[in-house]
Structure 1
Amino acid sequence: MGNTAATVAGYIRSAGARFVFAYPGDPIIELMEALRAADVEVVLAGREGTAVFMAEAQAMVTGRPGVCLSTLGPGSTAIVNGVAAATWDRVPLLAISGQIDAGREELITHQVVDHKLLFSSVTKWAGRIHPGSVDAVMRKALRLAVAERPGAVHLTGSAETFAASAPDVGIAPPPLDGAGGGVRVYRVPGGPDPTAVLRSARRPVLLAGAGATRCGASGALLRLAEGVGAPVVVSPMAKGVFPEDHPLFAGVLDMACNQVVWEFLGGSDLVVAAGFDPVELIRPWSVTVPVLHVDTTPNTDQIYPSDCEVVGDVSASLEWLADGWRGEPRWSERDVAVHRERLRTAYYAGRVSGRLNPTDVIDVVRASAPPETVVTCDVGSHKLLVGQGWQARRPRSVLMSNGLSSMGFGLPGAIAAQMALGEVPVVALIGDGGFAMAATELRLAAVRGLRLAVVVFADGSLNRIELKQRALGYPSTATRLNDIDLVALAASMGCDGVRVTSTAELEKAAAAGLAGLTRPLLIEARVDPAQYETQF
């Protein structure tokens, strides 16, 4: 008979976790040792808040639950933001926090926080580990985390709990495929058949979301789009689920140039929402076009009405629709090309000649990075341009928080992605505000010898908020950032660093650095923020 910690570690290992990200404390020492013994590496992050972002990014890139650990009290409160991010970003996450033993929890106040109250509103479940039920608790936690729609689960355990003997029942992990299920059709009484709805449309558009990525629906989406001749718009967290160099690709919803994309949707006569999750909407759904809802879950959000719903695995549902398709292609590639050119013109609006513009940074880095590069993006004005302008060719190649949209994700996310992917190059695209929240994690990247490129859009501003202050006629209050020598900071962390102020300098730095990194590289890109004002 082993102890409870060994059972917890066994389930974490069985879920495919190679790394667990942590900031340790007394109550979780036994669990960390059990993880080590189970050949799961416990990675020390600079703080709890970045550890949970690392776990989230690992789940994004692998599709398996990410895992983070914290201690009690301030350790548990420090992970709340990242736990909430995983839930709103629809990413499977298991967060475990230490606690004093249950016998004293009602009596002691020092560092004691009620985890049930703290985490219930930001997770799918906030539970407690007990020696007698640890097997069932771990199965429930993992199954809930991956079940549609996926999100975070939080568990609490004390030092006494982890050290206590547990029944030797063996590790029996639950299914970790979140979608599952056959194709089921729901419709209003007397409502139309979804295949008939699609066949009757003259200008249908496919809107693919993160649910399509989770279901591995790229092939089915491509088949349906090409068969119907329907352009494809994607949500930001679904970038790459449809190749963005394809002639039918029609842009990213609610990023830069969002008005152009919304007008394009509004000009259709049917939107096929394939795994689209309204959690990503920045502006309200405003088009009155009929919607065919295709997702793993029924249309319970009711952001848009839908007379019929195709519910089940998104890939299987799209294949079913493709099997039922009869008719000629609805759009010509030329029609879509006209829209794409309008989108391109809007994307480059506001560029300042002779200066380093945000879109220049995206273009140069994308052109210099190897095709298989995975990019992480932080939150800020630059994210809206990255979301529209970075051309993604495969799923899970662009990682961002666009449900909770939490700043500070970009750098820890890139570190975890690089650790999970090994030889696949990773680039972090970060604003200087988001970078400041996690800058010291550069040291972890250096110590691990990660060949990671970090590009900081440095404009000395919390630009999104400053622009809104300016629009209201207010001065810049608490939105200007103190200048930091990022090159010197990189050197102090054991990383290479270079500052660029022009496109030519950036091209030189990217050409010399991105393809053959031997240790982390930070590029401080001093951008002119004027383009942001034109865009937003």
Structure 2
Amino acid sequence: MGNTATVVAEHLRAAGVGRVFAYPGDPIIELMEAMRALDVEVVLGGREGTAVFMAEAHAMVTGRPGACLSTLGPGSTSIVNGVAAATWDRVPLLAISGQVDAGREDVITHQVVDHKLLFSPVTKWAGRIHPQSVDTVLRKALRLSVAERPGAVHLTGSAQAFAAQVSDVVVTPPPLDGAAGGLRVHRAPGGPDPAELLGSARRPVLLAGAGASRCGASDALIRLAEAAGVPVVVSPMAKGVFPENHPCFAGVLDMACNQVLWDFLADSDLVVTAGFDPVELIRPWSLRTPVLHIDTTPNTDQIYPSDCEVVGDVSASLDWLADGWRGEPRRSETDIAAHRDRLRTAYYAGRVSGRLNPTDVIDVVRAAAPDETVVTCDVGSHKLLVGQGWQTRHPRSVLMSNGLSSMGFGLPGAVGAQLALGETPVVALVGDGGFAMAATELRLAAARQLRLAVVVFVDGSLNRIELKQQALGYPSTATRLDDIDLVTLAGSMGCDGVRVTSVSELEKATAGLAGLTRPLLIEARIDPAQYEAQF
């Protein structure tokens, strides 16, 4: 077999992880060489903090664990944010950091950080790679990363450990299907079962979350929604799990027009949560509506009370309910369409005539992008509008950090997604603040000849915080951004760049999105006034 590094690389390759994102250092040289020798591609990020976001987005679109490498000391501390994002975003990720040799770790202080203490609060497990246990450790790490609910695992290894020879190991990957098998029903003594709860409801609503996406529950959602006449609201990270052009689609929770969605849920007499994860909630759950909890995990969060739970694969659970449905459709398409009209009116509130509004940018780019386009979205005021307004019909087609909600994800996320998807178009929708955190990754996109488009909403502000300062009567403090010529910046990194200030200019700039030959950056100079009406 060879050395410990080879076993690690073999495990990654056997698990279908053909690409890792890294920033190198002395302790991981042997590991990177083992990966190169086994055709596991090592992609150099501009820094550790963006490399880990690339790995997260790569995992989002592939469904396989993402992987990133860092060195010791500042290399390891730099990936903490991205590792935490994967855990809170429920994305399987294997992060490996180098460390000094075990015999010196307790007596050397230079660049030595206790990885167990550092990563335990933000991962599902923080372990160590050792020659005698490397096979077991890698199997555990990979299996744990995908197990419900998915998240990040961190492993520490030294140059000495990676170079050490190991006995022959037959590398066999563990099961990488995170969904639970079998269905278990939990209910209050004497209380109704799930079918009775749904059958007795007059105005039920389905609330689908990221767990439904992981379980491939799109067909089951459509089947139950159509059979029972139930509108479907989705969480932001589940966008696309239910097609947004379907007559039963009812919007995205906790994005723009938030009050319209919460009022709609409050008007229901049963909320069926299908893989909904409270980690995405921005606003506290205040509904008194009964909840039927359907997920791969029990309702241990208790963000909402639920006297009846169906625990198991979300798709199978929904199919089971659809099989047993015997009633008439509960809500007409006309009623759901009227709700969508209210949502649409609220979405466009605050537009300034003759200016480039945030919703104009979303509408124009969506119209120009091919249907199968995957979009990554950074965090900021624009995210709330993208989450509600970008229409998609496909699962895993809108990628965002909405558990940890970390700025800086959008651009490196787009690079990671595009590397995984090949010919599928990718668009990054980012604010100028989030873009500044990761701008140099444009150079990697150009070097790899990626055909992605990066649209930057430029308003010179950290708008979400500035609006809150204004609401409190405070002046803008540390929320105004210095102006940058993004077109010149794009050109210096081998990308095309264009500045737009109107809808017509943006339509012209996006006319060729389907035929890009290298990265395109669009500097969209927006009027932020619409944000005030929205939030």
Structure 1 position 297 matched with structure 2 position 297: yes
Aligned-partner Cα distance in 1 for 2:157–2:514: 45
Aligned-partner Cα distance in 2 for 1:24–1:262: 47
Amino acid at match of 2:527: D
Q: TM-score, normalised by structure 2?
A: 1.00
**Can you list the C-alpha shifts for 1:38-67, whole angstroms capped at 9, x where unaligned?**
111100000000000000000101110000
Shift of 1:188: 1.7
Amino acid at match of 1:514: L
Shift of 1:24: 0.2
Shift of 1:225: 0.5
Q: How does 1:120-199 map onto structure 2 within 5 Å?
A: 120-199=120-199
Structure 1 position 216 matched with structure 2 position 216: yes
Shift of 1:180: 2.7
Amino acid at match of 1:485: D
The answer to which of 523-532 and 14-23 deviates more is 14-23
Aligned-partner Cα distance in 2 for 1:514–1:17: 29
The answer to which of 161-170 and 358-367 deviates more is 161-170
Give structure 2 stretches of 5+ with no counterpart. none
Shift of 1:150: 0.3
1:519 corresponds to: 518
Structure 1 position 288 matched with structure 2 position 288: yes
Amino acid at match of 1:278: P
Aligned-partner Cα distance in 2 for 1:244–1:310: 26
Aligned-partner Cα distance in 2 for 1:191–1:23: 55
**Can you list the C-alpha shifts for 1:102-129, whole angstroms capped at 9, x where unaligned?**
0000000000000000000000000000
Shift of 1:392: 1.0
Q: How does 1:386-401 map onto structure 2 within 5 Å?
A: 386-401=386-401
1:533 corresponds to: 532
Q: How does 1:203-352 map onto structure 2 within 5 Å?
A: 203-352=203-352
Structure 1 position 377 matched with structure 2 position 377: yes
**Can you list the C-alpha shifts for 1:403-451, whole angstroms capped at 9, x where unaligned?**
0000000000000100100000000000000000000000000000000
1:495 corresponds to: 495
The answer to which of 254-263 and 159-168 deviates more is 159-168
The answer (yes or no) to whether the contact 2:207–2:234 under 8 Å persists in 1 is yes
The answer (yes or no) to whether the contact 2:88–2:279 under 8 Å persists in 1 is yes
Aligned-partner Cα distance in 2 for 1:314–1:195: 15
Amino acid at match of 1:523: I
Shift of 1:339: 0.3
Amino acid at match of 2:517: T
1:42 corresponds to: 42
Q: How does 1:19-38 map onto structure 2 within 5 Å?
A: 19-38=19-38
Q: How does 1:31-70 map onto structure 2 within 5 Å?
A: 31-70=31-70
The answer (yes or no) to whether the contact 2:372–2:425 under 8 Å persists in 1 is yes
The answer (yes or no) to whether the contact 2:56–2:413 under 8 Å persists in 1 is yes
The answer (yes or no) to whether the contact 2:451–2:516 under 8 Å persists in 1 is yes
2:94 corresponds to: 94
Amino acid at match of 1:395: P
Amino acid at match of 1:318: L
Shift of 1:167: 2.2
Aligned-partner Cα distance in 2 for 1:18–1:459: 39
Shift of 1:183: 1.1
The answer (yes or no) to whether the contact 2:295–2:310 under 8 Å persists in 1 is yes
Give structure 1 stretches of 5+ with no counterpart. none
Amino acid at match of 2:485: D
Q: TM-score, normalised by structure 1?
A: 0.99
Aligned-partner Cα distance in 1 for 2:167–2:210: 39
**Can you list the C-alpha shifts for 1:302-358, whole angstroms capped at 9, x where unaligned?**
011111100000001111111111110000000001100000000000000000000
2:461 corresponds to: 461
Partner SS state of residue 429, structure 1? strand
Shift of 1:181: 1.1
The answer (yes or no) to whether the contact 2:443–2:494 under 8 Å persists in 1 is yes
Shift of 1:223: 0.3
Shift of 1:192: 1.3
Partner SS state of residue 165, structure 2? coil
1:410 corresponds to: 410
Amino acid at match of 2:333: E
Q: Cα RMSD (Å) of the superposition?
A: 0.5
Aligned-partner Cα distance in 1 for 2:236–2:414: 17
Partner SS state of residue 219, structure 2? helix
Aligned-partner Cα distance in 1 for 2:366–2:532: 23
The answer (yes or no) to whether the contact 2:148–2:180 under 8 Å persists in 1 is no
1:440 corresponds to: 440
Runs of 4+ in 1 over 6 A off after TM superposition: none
Partner SS state of residue 170, structure 2? coil
Aligned-partner Cα distance in 2 for 1:171–1:133: 13
2:477 corresponds to: 477
Shift of 1:189: 1.8
Q: How many residues align?
A: 535
2:73 corresponds to: 73
